[in-house]
Amino acid sequence: MKKYSYLIALFIILLLPFACEANREHLIQGRTMGTTYHITVVTDDLNGVGGLKEKIDVRLEDINRIFSTYLEDSEISRFNALNKADEKFRVSDDFIQVMKVGRKIHRLSEGAWDGTVNPLVDLWGFGPIPRETKMPAAGAVKERLNHVGFDRIQIVEPNFIVKNSARIALDLNSIAKGFAVDQVSQLLAAGGFENYLVEIGGEVYAAGLRQDNKKWRIGINKPQKDAAFNEVYKVVSLSNKAFATSGDYRNFFEINRVRYSHVIDPRSGYPVSNGVVGVSIIANNCTLADGLATAIMVMGVEKGIPLVNRLDDVEALIVVEESDGSLADFYSTGFKSDPPKP
């Protein structure tokens, strides 16, 4: 269930025509959480923009120190290293917020999203350490499944989590970037800014309007392995909405002409084979949008679209690759896309 976003280049392309017209759009960019960020603030107050990058970087570094599985002393790494079951582990308010959203998505998706799935991702060779691309033994899959289950971690108010097995480990990357987007957006709103676009690793929150008083335009990369990174498939217009996308068309392996995706169903332990190659979600906050995009990659069209249609203020586009290589689009009731050109 590891997630890859291919929105970043398109985000920049759709933004650039407006970034140079006047001294009102201010671009702040950098690196965080193993990826890049781009933040555009629309304002006439030059003094108000001063010092913003430093504040943003400090907040993003705080979040990275909580959720990075690459830092041995991060909160999530220390929890994962805990070799005792049923022991309370104190975490920050940020950690609890993300865990609560994760619990909601886990329940809504009937387990299709699961923040403990990484042992299976590693087993199938899609983890940080490259492995031989081959089918793991059924017994190995079953053994890893014994140590997967987001519902095996209990949230104890106010700031504790408890795992019922010492081998349970968390990786919240599939919603942590969305959470970071929301936190930077809140920082900007608290600073009095009303019109801005926050993008981290392809996840987006669009507030207000661009400098031309039009909605922000976000491009979705064509979800095919041979598509260029800047090839626009769909465009959505956003204002005061979050947007997240998940894709399954650049990270897979094939054995005997059968394709095995990096998207692992945490309930079965095997890669999904539902034909879904891309999911885009629009929601009120990016934490939810980020997690739902990953969940619906696993759920597929038949369960994913009805779920989104039951949720208030959430819309989805699911792209399926047909057997002949063509793409088919499936929309929730209120999803709207625009022509590629402004």
Residue ranges of domains in the chain, CATH in brackets: 8-66+174-331 (3.10.520.10), 84-168 (1.10.3980.10)
The mean per-residue pLDDT over the stretch 121-147 comes to: 85
> Is the per-residue pLDDT at 23 higher than 50?
no
Global model pTM greater than 0.85: yes
Q: State yes or no: pLDDT of 117 exceeds 90.
A: yes
pLDDT, tens digit, 9 for 90 and up, residues 286-313? 999 999 999 999 999 999 999 999 999 9
Q: Per the omega criterion (within 30 degrees of 0), is the bond before 223 cis?
A: no
Q: Is the pLDDT of residue 52 over 70?
A: yes
Mean pLDDT of the chain: 89
pLDDT for residue 284 is more than 60: yes
Average pLDDT value for residue range 82-110:
97
**pLDDT, tens digit (0-9, with 9 covering 90-100), for 197-206:** 999 999 999 9
pLDDT of residue 146: 94
pLDDT recorded at residue 340: 66
- The strand ranges marked E within the chain are 25-32, 35-42, 89-90, 153-156, 160-163, 196-200, 203-207, 216-221, 232-238, 241-247, 252-255, 258-261, 276-283, 315-321, 327-331
- Residue 286's nearest CA partner among 162, 174, 203 is 203
Please determine, for residue 99, whether its predicted confidence score (pLDDT) is greater than 90. yes
pLDDT in tens, 169-217: 999 999 999 999 999 999 999 999 999 999 999 999 999 999 999 999 9
**Residue % of the chain over a pLDDT of 70:** 90
CA nearest neighbour of 155 among 116, 207, 209, 102: 102
